[in-house]
Amino acid sequence: MKVFDCPVIGPRPISEFDYIGEVRRPPMDADEPTWAAYVFNRQGAPGLLREWWYHRPTGRWYVMERDTLKDEVVRFIDLEEVRYDIPA
């Protein structure tokens, strides 16, 4: 059993979580090539990555900073840090 060490609710089986992917900010006013890069490309290099995780039993979303090389959660990110406004 693989355990996901969540800084908020403690160590839980990773089967209780859904991995949603990297936290990203859309390039709102960018040109088409930038948008295409945003849509189709991802950072694959190992290192610190901010990721969305969804814990199904509680129905709660978390943003974690994880070292993808060591597979260790470094810290919990407050959602205020990653929120952005969508242009009207």
Binding site for another protein (CB under 8 A): 1, 9, 12-13, 15-16, 56-60
**CB of residue 3 vs another protein: minimum separation in angstroms?**
8
Name the burial class of residue 77, with classes exposed (0-12), middle (13-18) and buried (19+) by CB atoms within 10 angstroms of its CB. Answer: middle
CB of 35 to another protein, least distance (A): 34
Nearer to another protein, 15 or 34 (CB): 15
- Dihedral sign of CA atoms 79, 85, 86, 88 in order: positive
Least separation in angstroms between CB 12 and another protein: 7
Pairing of strands 72-77, 60-67: antiparallel
Residue 43 or 58 having the CB closest to another protein:
58
Q: What's the length of the chain?
A: 88
